[in-house]
Amino acid sequence: MSRSFPAIAALLALIPAAGHASEARGKSTPPAAKGCVEVSGTALTGMAGGPAYSAAELKCGTKLSLVLQRQTGRNGNLPAWSTIDEVAIVKPSPRHELLQPSYCSSSLFPQDMVFALGRMVEQPDGSYRSESVVKAWRVDIKRERLAAIPVDGLLCALDPAD
């Protein structure tokens, strides 16, 4: 039970962000490719006065990918989204997960939203910290792309109160 608790706690903590993102994207917008399922998603902060952005983790059969999307219009009351960048995700173990920007930061790119591929491990104080981070990407809104970054100086954390 203690091994699965960190994953469950991290997933439960992401529910508000993922729920908000699904609402922002609109449920009528299909995933980027036929047969793909959205595993998680998050609304991203764009440039003031610019278009809205979101990111989603998609599962297409056995393949996983992280996609960056830009709002390109409206479909009735729901926003319409277009995929503008995509990176493949290869998990080195089933315990690795895509860690969201609301919990991750990079000392090399302190102003950017960062996704990481790693594991969250419970600490003695009840908090969770990233471990075994193997890849990371920052959201480059100006260039509208996901840019790979070094994992040095990267930390994903979840406090007990979160």
Query: Residue 16 above 80 pLDDT?
Result: no
pLDDT band, very low/low/confident/very high, at 29 (cuts 50, 70, 90): very low
pLDDT attached to residue 130: 93
pLDDT attached to residue 150: 95
Measure the CA–CA gap between 20 and 33, rounded to whole angstroms: 22
Yes or no: say if 37 and 69 are a contact pair by the CB < 8 Å rule. no
pLDDT band, very low/low/confident/very high, at 148 (cuts 50, 70, 90): very high
Q: Give the number of other Cβ atoms within 10 Å of residue 101's Cβ.
A: 20
Looking at per-residue pLDDT, the higher value among 58 and 7 belongs to 58
Residue 97 burial (C-beta neighbours within 10 Å; 0-12, 13-18, 19+) = buried
Residue 133 region, left (φ>0) first, then alpha (ψ -120 to 50), else beta? beta
Query: Residue 136 above 90 pLDDT?
Result: yes
- Over residues 104-115, mean pLDDT: 93
Per residue in 67-86, pLDDT (tens digit) is: 999 999 889 998 888 999 99
Identify the top-confidence range among 7-16, 19-28, 43-52: 43-52
Exposure of 44 in the CB half-sphere (CA atoms within 13 A): 29
Tokens representing 144 are 């509208």
Mean pLDDT over all residues of the chain?
A: 79
Task: Please report, rounded to a whole number, the percentage of residues in the chain having pLDDT higher than 70.
Answer: 74
Task: Please report, rounded to a whole number, the percentage of residues in the chain having pLDDT higher than 90.
Answer: 44
